[in-house]
Structure 1
Amino acid sequence: MAGLTLAPGALPRSVLFLCGMNAVRSPMAEQLARRMLPPTIFVASAGVRAGERDPFVDAVLAEDGLTLGERHPRTLDDLEDDYFDLIVTLAPEAH
């Protein structure tokens, strides 16, 4: 994948958080990014393989007033988009 060059201070138009099973790290990162970034930035998360929803994530996000709602872990194959300006890997297998 070709690298994207952004001007200093510029924000990407789309961000993907990628981890092993999209069960803990990446869904939490996705929700935190949604809160912190402008709503015009598309934010998603996925795993390199299928995982199960972890109740720990719900408890941690609830402490900060966030929720996953009905969202369940998904893999790269589940994503509708396959191009992101920025991909943040959160596990060695996601590199």
Structure 2
Amino acid sequence: MVFFRIIFLYLDKQIEVMRDNMLGGFIQWILLILTTFMTIWIIFQGWLIVTGRSREPMMALVTNALRIGFLSFLAVGFTFMGTDIGKLLTETMPK
């Protein structure tokens, strides 16, 4: 029985390390894609304003940009809490 317990603890530790690495990498990829799309959207909106094709008021653009910026800020905040999210998903919730 002790032999199987040692194997189980080893495999459990390896799975935990792999899970933490995958969660961190996944969050970084999402953040990279989000930042890229947000930058492209801001450039496109600026191009619409400069060429005079924008049909919405400037205040709507500012409001939308602030909302997207706030959501991006929250996404960045979650990347710093990646270990807490991993702990929530593994230790707090039942196995």
State TM-score, norm by structure 1. 0.22
- TM-score, structure 2 as length reference: 0.22
Higher helix share: 2
Larger radius of gyration: 2
Higher RCO structure (Cα 8 Å, ≥6 apart): 2
Query: Could you say which structure has the higher strand fraction?
Result: 1
